[in-house]
Structure 1
Amino acid sequence: MSVHELKRPPLADIAQWRVDVPQALEQLRHWAQVSPLQPALRHKRHGQWYAWRWIDVLRDVERLADGLRQQGFTEQSRLAVSGAFEPNLLLLTLAAQQAGGQVLAIGDDLDAQALHPILWQSQPTHAFVPRRQTRQLWLNHGQAVLDFAELFGPSEPPQRLRTSRTQAQWWSEEGTQWQGGLTVLLAQWLGSGQAVAFPESPGSASRDRREVAPSGLLLSAERLQRLAEEIDSRLAAPGTWRRRLCDWAIARPEKGLQRLIKQRVRRLLGLHHLHDIWQAPRTRPDNLARLNEFKRDIA
């Protein structure tokens, strides 16, 4: 019996994986109409930054929706996405909604034993799994894994950027292992109309964040904690006079020397344009306080 023939569990059983942004397509059409040439997505690929304008995003979503329908995707279908957040994954998520089906976000850090019961319960009819090692795991479970290039067909590549910066943009270095994160990302991105930038890989996130210098962070509680730890790692060891000097400068950046010290730390972290931090549930207050110290309006 194929996955397509299995009885689907009730909606409540898949709520923890379901991506649900009710006004997503209407918001996308709005930004494509009022800001068609403004950047909507930015992603680093093979060492270069690329951008998708709002009108590009809308056209790509419509094109991918047609490709999904040709693959048998209907209103009764479920698309599972698993991987790092990046433009292809977002475009395909919106395309599945355009085609009338459901989208499930399933962590890409699961082994075979953990993945099996999730697939049995969620029963996706189609899957998008970009990472090669993870894709093989899904294929071994009998899943129909989609090829993005095959769905999209021949097309012009995204625009290569001369600069990676814009006045206001969110930053995300997450993936589908952040439960509920894809819903958060889509809601904040489409609700604000600001671009979202993504690193080339998890390993290059710190370096790529410095290049982008985002104005807002869209991160899980766990990732915010790692960023707070990264801040501390950039400073001198606790208890030393250098650390006391840094802490003093960060807390009171009103004068010249303190401001210079704090600005240097902020630039090392790529936080020198930071205005907003989306507060993830369960974020530790001390981590949030540490990051709030680096917002631009109080620097």
Structure 2
Amino acid sequence: MSVHELKRPPIADTTEWRVEVPKALEQLRHWAQVSPLQPAFRHKRHGQWFVWRWIDALRDVERLADGLSQQGFTKESRLALSGAFEPNLLLLALASQHIGGELLTLPDNLDPESLHENLWRSRPTHAFVQDRQTRQLWLNEGQSLLNFADLLGPVEPPQHLNRWAQGKPLWSEEGTQWPAGLSVLLEHWLTSGQSLAFPESLDSASRDRREVAPSGLLLSAERLQLLAAEIDLRLAPQGTWRRRLCDWAVFLCPTLVLLDEPSRGLAPIIVQDIFEMKH
């Protein structure tokens, strides 16, 4: 078996992975000013829900930007993110924008050969990878990885959420496998000013989602199909009076919405009360 090394392009080709977040910092500062103590993020960790207020999010972004600068990140730098969407990843994305560097997202399910090609083409100067096994693959490629705690420095831990604040959050159970996902999350979260909630893991997403009872879901087309199938299993069988009641309620008041690609807009699907129905 012979190995032929490809000639590295003189300029990184980042179009496929680039994340555009215009006015993100301006919007973050707006919500930190008008709603400083309202929840910005909610994330389940080790079986408990934690909350970041808008003012906390802004302060963390500023601290992370300082940490990135100390790691040599500049306007000419390129940060690659890989992993599940959750507060740490989004805050780090905003910190890179605070400095003005380029932001990329790469899937966290690439095999070694595909990862090598993606890194060879995108050529990130800095990277943040969450999954332990995925981190090792990146390290094998000679990529130096950032440590979130080191970048953030000593700060107060997020607050344990004993009860939900007024208002239902948006919900995400996606990651960088969804190419447009980070742009979608940042756009809807920062435009609406709603809290954005995340599950502890993909395996617990269904249970955690029911605990949150979100007002809207931020989903890729693939995840939307999986959730639609899950919802269908929770509804009464087709042809029964209970199913006809469910279908009629969905038609009258579709309050739980699934958001796919930005160009597709809102797709009403089902109300929360029906979502909780069992056979």
For Structure 1 versus Structure 2, the TM-score category normalised by the shorter chain is 0.7 to 0.9
The yes-or-no answer on 1:222 pairing with 2:231 is no
User: Higher helix fraction: Structure 1 or Structure 2?
Assistant: 1
> Residue 165 of structure 1 contacts residue 212 of structure 1 at CA under 8 Å; is this kept in 2?
no
CA distance in 2, matches of 1:120, 1:170: 35
The yes-or-no answer on 1:294 pairing with 2:271 is yes
Quote the residue 2:96 is aligned against. 96
Shift of 1:244: 2.5
CA distance 1:127–1:249, shift in 2 (3 Å): same
User: Higher strand fraction: Structure 1 or Structure 2?
Assistant: 2
* SS of 2:240 mapped into structure 1: helix
Unaligned runs of 5+ in 1: 1-5, 260-271
* SS of 2:203 mapped into structure 1: helix
Q: Within 5 A, what are the aligned runs for 1:61-80? A: 61-80=61-80
Aligned residues: 265
Quote the residue 2:41 is aligned against. 41
Q: TM-score, normalised by structure 1?
A: 0.82
List per-residue Cα deviations over 1:18-58 (Å, max 9, x = no partner). 11111001111111111111110110000000000010000
> Residue 215 of structure 2 contacts residue 257 of structure 2 at CA under 8 Å; is this kept in 1?
yes
Shift of 1:294: 2.6
* SS of 1:31 mapped into structure 2: helix
Shift of 1:280: 3.0
CA distance in 1, matches of 2:205, 2:74: 36
CA distance in 1, matches of 2:51, 2:196: 10
Quote the residue 1:201 is aligned against. 201
Q: TM-score, normalised by structure 2?
A: 0.88
CA distance in 2, matches of 1:213, 1:236: 20
Shift of 1:279: 3.8
CA distance in 1, matches of 2:233, 2:70: 51
CA distance 1:162–1:118, shift in 2 (3 Å): same
Shift of 1:193: 0.6
Shift of 1:165: 5.3
> Residue 79 of structure 2 contacts residue 104 of structure 2 at CA under 8 Å; is this kept in 1?
yes
CA distance in 2, matches of 1:172, 1:148: 21
> Residue 168 of structure 2 contacts residue 212 of structure 2 at CA under 8 Å; is this kept in 1?
no
What is the root-mean-square deviation of aligned Cα atoms in Å?
2.5
The yes-or-no answer on 1:251 pairing with 2:254 is no
The yes-or-no answer on 1:276 pairing with 2:257 is yes
CA distance in 2, matches of 1:173, 1:274: 19
List per-residue Cα deviations over 1:216-244 (Å, max 9, x = no partner). 11111111101100012223565xxxx53
CA distance in 2, matches of 1:293, 1:148: 37
Counterpart code for 2:259: W
> Residue 67 of structure 1 contacts residue 152 of structure 1 at CA under 8 Å; is this kept in 2?
yes
List per-residue Cα deviations over 1:97-129 (Å, max 9, x = no partner). 111211101011111011111101100001000
CA distance 1:295–1:161, shift in 2 (3 Å): closer
Quote the residue 2:160 is aligned against. 160
* SS of 2:154 mapped into structure 1: coil
Shift of 1:195: 0.6
CA distance 1:111–1:279, shift in 2 (3 Å): closer
> Residue 224 of structure 2 contacts residue 260 of structure 2 at CA under 8 Å; is this kept in 1?
no
